[in-house]
Amino acid sequence: GCLFRCLYCHNPDTWKLHNGRAVTLDEALAEVRPYAGFLRFAGGVTISGGEPMLQAGFVGALARRIKTELRLHVALDTQGFLHDTLDDAWFDPIDLVLLDIKHSDPGQYRRLTGQDLQPTLDFAQRLVRLGKRMWIRYVLVP
């Protein structure tokens, strides 16, 4: 699911919070495990969504198991809006955050997404404090 309502969203199917396919942690790992050797060479696993932090318990446990059992690089693709609901240790298995900042102007950000910019900026500062690698993602819409 996703709490944002971006005007240019290419995945509006993620707006419904309970519309996905239910899988257990073991089932999710079973889907990744056969590709672990290749993924170790090719970059790792990226957890995205919608917004992965909406399922923080599952995503945190999945990231930890991917990191410890499969020894893979773990990236998190997020707009960071929900970061303040999680403690610092939740981010331990995350190697890289792909931080989606949809606009630099707070008013335009709210117009585009329906949400405030500040939580995302606060998350960027938190990542710096935690020493986490981060790539800023920005969608350019003409």
Mean pLDDT of 79-86: 86
pLDDT value at position 2? 67
Q: Is 64 helix (H, G, I), strand (E, B) or coil?
A: helix
The residue ranges of every structural domain in the chain are 12-137
For 104-127, the pLDDT digits (tens) are 899 998 988 888 999 999 999 999
Mean pLDDT of 57-80: 96
Residue 49's pLDDT band (cuts 50, 70, 90)? confident
**Which positions ≥6 away from 93 have C-beta within 8 Å?**
60, 63, 64, 66, 67, 68, 74
Beta bridge partners of 47: 76
- Domain 12-137 classification at class level: alpha beta
**Residue type for position 93:** P
